[in-house]
Structure 1
Amino acid sequence: MRTVFKRLDANADGYMTKEDYVITAQALIDYLGLTGKEAERILNERLRVWEGIAGDKTRITVDEYCQDILSFLNDRRFREELCYTVIRAEFNAIDIDGDGFISKEEHAAYFYSLNIPTESSKDDFDVLDSNKDGLVSIDEFAEGFLEFWLTEDPDNIYNQTYGSLVN
């Protein structure tokens, strides 16, 4: 959780804010040279994720984020209903062209937008692409996403989903 917070705190001020989500969206847009509707869609996807996380808060500390995420993951409604919605939203934030698959370029752009070295993207992409067809489907992504968030195994192959873990 601290790793994800660090990645999403784009300006490294110790708080996650709407501004951070705009910064990460703009980095992705710039990396891929997107304009018009594509750029707007990326920004809107990121802002939807922010609104889902923040609710009525304007900023979130790392401790608040960790507490909120733990409560969220342990909530029965998440397991029964929201899990798919959260996974789909995250997948859509990475699937830039909206074709239903994450390409290597889209994955690298996502890493870039979160200030994760794009060189790390290749290894993570290869783990996510379990059928080795060069694309990550929603099912492959969901497996990695859930393993990242729900496992406590320090050697889990999905621990690099957001780059190297932080302490």
Structure 2
Amino acid sequence: MLTTEQQRLIEDEFKTLDTNGDGRVTTEDYVLLADRVCAKFGHAPGSPIHQKLTTALKTWGRQLLEESDTDKNDAISREEYVATLQRRTAEDPTAFQRNKPVVDALWELMDTDKDGTISRDEYKKVQKAFGLSDKVIDETFQRMDKDRDNVVSRDEATAFLSSWGARN
């Protein structure tokens, strides 16, 4: 059984992935998401980071589509997405690791000063591109920043993602 927080996060994730707002997630949404996030950081379509993020999102999206699209209409509905993430979380607390290529590409994009950590401003910039509210961004950053040094290390981010899956 998912916690209320996990349910809210899954709903927020679906809204983020449904980039065009049509109530379903398709390959087009992953491309639009990569375009929007990269544009926020000044990376043009076709740039190396844009290609890396687009490829990672499309690969992850194809895997998710194969697992989630129960009605075989080449799209993931909110209900299909929620059911898949509930099942994944219950069956495998480390399921977040399937997103590693996406996380790696986003980390490279967010770490604009290349210091190996993500500042609140760096994190906020990419999350705003995903369409998240300031409240959600600030709450999530605070939960990740365990040592309260106002930056998130890769270890903190990994621990946060790991603990999300483990909170059944």
Judge same fold: TM > 0.5, yes or no: yes
**What are the ranges of 5 or more consecutive residues in structure 2 without an aligned counterpart?**
1-9
Q: Alignment partner for residue 2 of structure 1, among 11, 29, 48?
A: 11
**What are the ranges of 5 or more consecutive residues in structure 1 without an aligned counterpart?**
153-167
Question: How many aligned positions are there?
Answer: 148
Does residue 47 of the first structure (1) align with residue 63 of the second (2)?
no
Does residue 19 of the first structure (1) align with residue 28 of the second (2)?
yes
Q: 1:41-120 residue pairs with structure 2 within 5 A?
A: 41-55=52-66, 57=69, 58-75=74-91, 78-79=92-93, 83=95, 85-86=97-98, 88-97=100-109, 100-118=116-134, 120=136
Residue aligned with 1:34, SS: coil
Tell me the TM-score normalized by structure 2: 0.71
The superposition leaves residues 102-158 of structure 1 with CA deviations (integer Å, 9 ceiling, x where unpaired) of 343442232122211357534432331212334322321133224445547xxxxxx
* Counterparts of 1:102 and 1:69, CA distance in 2: 26
Q: Is the 8 A contact 1:95 1:103 kept in 2?
A: no
Residue aligned with 1:136, SS: strand
Q: Is the 8 A contact 2:53 2:102 kept in 1?
A: no
Q: 1:123-138 residue pairs with structure 2 within 5 A?
A: 123-138=139-154
Alpha-carbon distance, 1:84 to partner: 6.1
Alpha-carbon distance, 1:8 to partner: 1.3
**Per the alignment, do residues 124 and 69 of structure 1 end up closer, same or farther by CA in structure 2, a change over 3 Å counting?**
closer
Q: Is the 8 A contact 1:45 1:89 kept in 2?
A: yes
Alpha-carbon distance, 1:51 to partner: 2.1
Residue aligned with 1:55, SS: helix
**Per the alignment, do residues 109 and 22 of structure 1 end up closer, same or farther by CA in structure 2, a change over 3 Å counting?**
farther
* Counterparts of 2:161 and 2:65, CA distance in 1: 20
Alpha-carbon distance, 1:23 to partner: 1.3
Alpha-carbon distance, 1:24 to partner: 1.2
Tell me the TM-score normalized by structure 1: 0.72
| Identity fraction in percent | 20
* Counterparts of 1:33 and 1:19, CA distance in 2: 21
Alpha-carbon distance, 1:32 to partner: 0.5
Alpha-carbon distance, 1:30 to partner: 0.7
